[in-house]
Amino acid sequence: MSAHSSVMIPNYRIRPFKPEDLEAVERINRVFLPENYPSYFFMENYRRFPRSFFVAEDEGGNVVGYVMCRVESHYTKSETLILGHILSIAVSKDHRRKGIGEALMLKAEEGLLSYNCDAVYLEVRVSNEPAIRLYEKLGYKKLGIIPFYYADGEDAFLMYKILREGLDDSLIYQALGNRVIR
Ligand SMILES: CC(C)(COP(=O)(O)OP(=O)(O)OC[C@H]1O[C@@H](n2cnc3c(N)ncnc32)[C@H](O)[C@@H]1OP(=O)(O)O)[C@@H](O)C(=O)NCCC(=O)NCCS
């Protein structure tokens, strides 16, 4: 399945982000997440990594969720890893627990694979049980805690998932371990 194909979940469609979606995505970001970004941040990530920025729309064509990613280089003793970074994901409250978050994550991973990512990682509030459960369901593991990561002082878990077969977890720790305590 190509990164630009549509994943069907009953009554919803996951499709690539388009610039016309910016307002709706920003609205969802502002309402459902304390971490908000200026418009250019969304557009810059879209411009650089269009194959890993997706929205979910309902049958009426309303955008009800999104996932935005970035591709980064990280260094280990032996090689440079290409890591996908899930920057932001949210689903409107009325549309949760229907599989949209999971579908958005899977499409994001597919897109990140198309950029040759070796693994994918993200930060999540230690109190954000629904999101942590979602990531664990998809096979993400906790690398450690980033103390005081959020503006209000809350800690984050740094979680990751290996995409390249055979890649050892220790390389992820070499690349990102300096950000966490275990
Ligand atoms: C996290 C979020 C994106 C999940 O979206 P969603 O569409 O409701 O998730 P899904 O329906 O695909 O759920 C997939 C799995 O995640 C887990 N999960 C999701 N919500 C959960 C909840 N409230 N409690 C427990 N587990 C939950 C479950 O394992 C679920 O699988 P199941 O339904 O088979 O049990 C959504 O809750 C959200 O937008 N939260 C606010 C923004 C946010 O916190 N973003 C993450 C920042 S790191």
Distance from the CA of 154 to the center of ligand 1, in angstroms?
20
Residues, the chain, total? 182
Check residue 79 and give its pLDDT: 95
Burial 61-93 (b: 16+ CB within 10 A, else e): eebbbbbbbbbeebebeeeebbbbbbbbbbbbe
Tell me which residues of the chain have a pLDDT lower than 70.
Answer: 1-7
Check residue 2 and give its pLDDT: 44
Model-wide pTM > 0.85: yes
pLDDT tens for each residue of 34-48: 999 999 999 999 999
- Domains (range + CATH), the chain: 7-179 (3.40.630.30)
CA-angle at 157, arms to 136 and 73, nearest 5°: 95
Of 180, 69, 22, the residue nearest 30 (C-alpha): 22
User: Are 181 and 127 contacting, i.e. CB atoms less than 8 angstroms apart?
Assistant: no
Distance from the CA of 79 to the center of ligand 1, in angstroms?
34
Distance, in Å, from the CA atom of 140 to the CA atom of 97, rounded to the nearest integer, reads 19
Distance from the CA of 131 to the center of ligand 1, in angstroms?
5
Residues lining ligand 1, CB < 6 A? 32-33, 89-91, 96-102, 124, 128-131, 133-134, 137
Check residue 3 and give its pLDDT: 43
Distance, in Å, from the CA atom of 163 to the CA atom of 121, rounded to the nearest integer, reads 10
Distance from the CA of 70 to the center of ligand 1, in angstroms?
21
* Minimum CA distance residue for ligand 1 atom 12: 99
Check residue 181 and give its pLDDT: 96
Check residue 1 and give its pLDDT: 42
Specify the 3-state DSSP secondary structure of 146. strand
Distance from the CA of 77 to the center of ligand 1, in angstroms?
36
Average model confidence (pLDDT) for the chain? 95
Give percent above pLDDT 90 in the chain: 95
Which of 124, 132, 133, 140 for a ligand 1 pocket mutation test, highest count of atoms within 8 Å of Cβ?
Answer: 133
Check residue 7 and give its pLDDT: 62
